[in-house]
A and B are shown apart, each in its own frame.
Chain A
Amino acid sequence: MPANRHAPLVSREPLDAAYFVLTFRHPEIAATAHAGQFVMIKAGLSVEPPLRRPFSILGVDAKEETFSLFIKAVGAGTRALVRLTEGEVAQCLGPLGRPFTKPAAGTEALMVAGGYGIAPFHLFATELRAEGWIGRVFYGGRTVNDLQLRDRFQELVPLVPATEDGSHGHRGRVTAPLLAFLEGTRGPARLYACGPDPMLHAVARIAEDRGLDAEVSLDPWMGCGIGTCLGCVVRTQHEDEARAKYRCACTEGPVFDASLVVWPDETASRARRRAKVEA
């Protein structure tokens, strides 16, 4: 059950390029959060900016009763958060939403991250590692500056970096090394993706082409995080539904089965199209 409380900032770690790792004390999140879940958080009590912001949970420490977020200071809400000093509080509600589904035993978890979409995969890799499962992270960005957490997976899972300008790892989009890996792989695999929508759609297509299961973490504008404002809806369609429905990313996601998502330039979900072909 999510809890709403004032969470004091415990540590503030500035990285390069306006990225930060912020750690807050919040016992319920620390004790119960799973990878893919998120928090709604806002610095202090001021009315400006009005809304809390959603962030994927980067990591938890049950013993210290803390959790961490990976934040890029880009607007008023994020700038206010990274300006907090230790001991100052944020209004924080969480953990919220549907987490990633763990892969079956022996199935490799292939995690595809774009930029700050890396955040949930650190917690996911930690969970997988603790249970002895295997995984691999494909981490893409425009430049090396977008790969701020690239050194934090060393103890967890192999990491394959890619940058569009070639400043680190593979030159080009992150889906290229993913495809190359899938060409060579023999064991069963399941895809997970978090990042910009075009990247999520590309991963969904790759999964569809290869008959792989995939989950995507969507990141629409969110107002409340608990399913009341209906601002964050995404169109999804189960195979037995004639029409796509708007579903709240905050309560029915943010992690969705990629085959259920109706992407912006499409009229039906992969699951529905498949069901119609088979019928």
Chain B
Amino acid sequence: MSLAVEIGGLRLKNPLIAASGTFGYGVEYEGLMDLSLLGGLVSKGLYLEPRDGCPTPRIVETPAGLLNAIGLQGVGVRAFVADVLPRLARYDTAVLVNVCGDTVEEYAEVTRIVDDAPGVAGVEINISCPNVKKGGMAFGGDPRMTAEVVSAVRKATRRPVIPKLSPNVADITVFARVCEETGADAISCINTLLGLAIDVETRKPRLAFGTGGLSGPAIRPVAVRMAWQAARAVKIPVIGIGGITSGRDALEFLIAGCRAVQIGTSNFVDPGLYERILPELRDYLERHQLKHVGEVVGTLEYPGLPVSTEVVS
């Protein structure tokens, strides 16, 4: 039985990837789990320079979810390459770097620095963070800007390029296709949903930034639906993200057509979850008499009702 998957030339020993922004730089989890259990991990979003991020409060708990406006606080790509990458080298897992920028040029420059660094398996492009004033969702919400950023990053690296798409658009398939046409090797779906939580006593937003990004089990059905739509729209692999807490949750994305999944908010809740989910996946394959996890991918039996074509198109 094999859990190995391949995504745009990137071979992962299993389909579980720790999502950007929920796993620090990976090294924070040393001692709490065996990082070699992971198929891969994606770094916190990195710009050229260190960033302060948003004022506080930055997080608020919502029903089965987490609303955050962290604002991409980070150490900057050079510190990551110098201090963190060597520590991650001892683990048998694929290290992906989430690259950010205020400008197209900055995305390309961060990518070039990463491309030169040893131990980087691929580049995820952050065009979907809702908590920054420039870049982020501003690029991922406009197909022309998405094309510009993906093309620039594509030119800056030989490694697999994986744009991370925003759900805060009318039709995610438009963006999935743009990524495919401009040289992406895969896409990650989805980043957080734009949300707003209000303190009714003060009549102010509960987050200092105002709006925030919603994650956690609350968004899973939306994420599965969007990943499913994206997977039907493009030939490049789709990595599903959104509210995964168990093997069954991960399987929903795989059945919907995702080649791999990322686990996000659950990393905050339980550092032991990979040890729990991997046996759940193996158990599922065994019960369904499957030899390879890839045999599950895209096996959704969707009812052929007229309404489905309206949803998908």
Residues of B within 8 A of A1 (CB): 31
A234 proximal to B (CB < 8 A): yes
Q: Is residue B24 contacting chain A, with contact meaning CB distance below 8 A?
A: yes
Residue from B53, B61, B73, B216 whose CB has the most chain A CB atoms within 10 Å: B61
**What per-residue 1/0 map shows which CB atoms of A72-114 lie under 8 Å from chain B?**
0000000000000000000101000000000000000000000
Interchain CB contact under 8 A, A234 and B31? no
CA A224 to CA B23, docked complex, whole Å: 10
Which stretch of B144-152, B155-163, B165-173, B265-273 is in the interface?
A: B265-273
Q: Output the nearest chain A residue to B26 by Cβ-Cβ distance.
A: A228
Q: Is the CB of B267 within 8 A of A91?
A: no
B269 and A231 contact, CB distance less than 8 A: no
Query: What mask results when residues 162 to 204 of chain B are scored 1 for a CB within 8 Å of chain A, else 0?
Result: 0000000000000000000000000000000000000000000
B15-35 contacts to A, CB under 8 A, are: 22-24, 28-29, 31-33
What's the least CB distance linking B197 to chain A, in Å? 12
Q: Which residues on the A side are within 8 Å of B65 (C-beta)?
A: 50
CB distance from A178 to the nearest CB of B (A): 28
Q: Inside 8 A of A2's CB, which chain B residues have their CB?
A: 31-32
Whether B70 pairs with A230 at a CB distance below 8 angstroms is yes
Chain B 116-153 per-residue mask, 1 if CB under 8 angstroms from chain A, else 0: 00000000000000000000000000000000000000
User: Shortest Cβ distance from A261 into chain B, in angstroms?
Assistant: 13
B82 within 8 A of A: no
Taking a contact as CB atoms under 8 Å apart, the answer to whether B58 and A233 are in contact is yes
Known: A221-B57, A228-B28, A230-B70. A50 touches B269 (CB 8 A): yes
Instruction: Decide: A51 and B58 in contact? CB cutoff 8 A.
Output: no
B63 touches A229 (CB 8 A): no
Please, which residue of chain A has its CB at the minimum distance from the CB of B63? A48
**A182 interfacial by beta-carbon distance below 8 Å:** no
B60 at the interface (CB under 8 A from A): yes
How many residues on B have C-beta within 8 angstroms of the other chain's C-beta atoms? 34
A residues 39-87 touching B (CB-CB < 8 Å): 42, 47-52
Q: Which of A47, A223, A233 contacts B268 (CB 8 A)?
A: A223
Pair A4/B73 contact, Cβ less than 8 Å:
no
Instruction: Determine if A50 and B270 form an interchain contact, defined as CB atoms under 8 angstroms apart.
Output: no
CB pair A223 B59 closer than 8 Å: yes
C-alpha gap A100/B100 in the complex (Å): 38
Is B59 within 8 A of A221, CB to CB? Answer: yes
Please, which residue of chain A has its CB at the minimum distance from the CB of B52?
A246
**In the bound complex, how far is the Cα of B57 from the Cα of A121, in angstroms?**
27
> Taking the complex as formed, is A245 at the interface, i.e. its CB lies under 8 A from any CB of chain B?
yes
How far is the CB of A53 from the nearest CB of chain B, in Å? 10
Determine the chain B residues whose CB is within 8 A of the CB of A233 once the complex forms: 53, 56, 58, 73
**A window 203-258: CB within 8 A of B:** 220-221, 223-224, 226-234, 245-246
Measured in the bound complex, the distance between the Cα atoms of B245 and A223 in whole Å is: 16
B64 contacts partner chain A, Cβ-Cβ < 8 Å: yes
User: B66 contacts which chain A residues (CB < 8 A)?
Assistant: 50-51, 223
A231-B271 contact in complex given A50-B64, A226-B28, C-beta closer than 8 Å: no
For this complex, 7 residue pairs linking A to B, each with C-beta atoms less than 8 Å apart, are: A47-B64, A47-B245, A49-B61, A50-B269, A220-B57, A228-B22, A230-B53
Q: What residues of chain B have their CB less than 8 Å away from a CB belonging to chain A?
A: 22-24, 28-29, 31-33, 44, 52-53, 56-61, 63-66, 68, 70, 73, 216-217, 245, 265, 267-272
